[in-house]
């Protein structure tokens, strides 16, 4: 009986110790993203990710959809990486495993996720996007 109580207490304490995810923009991974990492992430973007996320093909969210990317950023880096690595069914489409970058390594996928959020932030804050938004009233 004591072993069962100790086991249950241990499980309970482990569950209480879980921390909420850190917004990707505040994560160590994002803040340590180097120029070399950016080049690798950009190359993955240019060969794979842009196909859906530039124009919204196959239900992919475009980088200018600020509310979506801000909400996604709140899920934390690990959750975002996992959904790219394993794939994920969404309301409007499917994110295939590895974003269809089958030869990509885990590190390359991680760098592409970080680059995608860096690019989304850049696009969302650019003056050209604000000007385009005004024209599309």
Structural element, H or E, at residue 129: helix 127-135
pLDDT (tens digit per residue) in 28-64: 999 999 999 999 999 999 999 999 999 999 899 999 9
Quickly name the fold that domain 20-135 has. Cytochrome Bc1 Complex; Chain D, domain 2 (1.10.760)
Paired with 95 in beta bridges are: 88
pLDDT at residue 91, as a whole number = 85
Angle (CA) 107-97-25 rounded to 5° is 50
Say if residues 112 and 84 touch (Cβ distance below 8 Å). yes
Q: Where are the domains of the chain?
A: 20-135
Rounded mean pLDDT, 19-30: 94
Q: What is the pLDDT of residue 18?
A: 74
- 68/134: higher pLDDT: 68
Q: Are 118 and 69 in contact (CB under 8 A)?
A: no
pTM: 0.78
% of the chain residues with pLDDT over 70: 80
Contact (Cβ atoms closer than 8 angstroms) between residue 38 and residue 118: yes
Cβ atoms within 10 Å, residue 93: 15
């Amino acid at each position: 009986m004591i072993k069962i109580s100790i086991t249950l207490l241990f499980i309970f304490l482990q569950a209480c110790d879980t921390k909420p995810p850190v917004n990707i923009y505040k994560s160590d991974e994002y803040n340590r993203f180097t120029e070399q990492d950016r080049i690798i992430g950009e190359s993955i973007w240019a060969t794979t990710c842009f196909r859906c996320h530039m124009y919204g093909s196959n239900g992919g969210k475009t980088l200018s959809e600020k509310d979506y990317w801000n909400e996604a950023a709140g899920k934390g880096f690990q959750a975002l990486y996992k959904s790219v690595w394993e794939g994920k069914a969404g309301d409007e489409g499917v994110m295939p495993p590895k974003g269809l970058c089958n030869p990509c390594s885990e590190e390359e996928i991680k760098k592409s996720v970080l680059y995608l959020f860096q690019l989304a932030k850049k696009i969302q804050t650019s003056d050209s996007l604000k000007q385009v938004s005004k024209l599309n009233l």
